[in-house]
Amino acid sequence: MSPRFDRQHGAILIESLIALALLSLCAAGTLAALERMETTGQSLRQLSAQVRQHNTQIEAADLR
């Protein structure tokens, strides 16, 4: 093998490793964002249920 071929092979390997590292970071960021969205959704559902319960109590008090 010629030294030029070895250098090209090494450069391709390094580029591939960098691309893989970037993809891994993007995947980790996406998973973190999805977890935050899920937590936010759960909080929203809980808050919505509390608001509905509060409104029901207010409406019941108004009917008395």
Helix (H, G, I), strand (E, B) or coil at 29: helix
pLDDT (tens, 9 = 90+) of the chain, 64 residues, equals 566 668 888 899 999 999 999 999 999 999 999 999 999 999 999 999 999 999 999 988 877 6
| Euclidean distance between CA atoms 17 and 5, whole angstroms | 18
Task: Indicate whether this model's pTM tops 0.75.
Answer: no
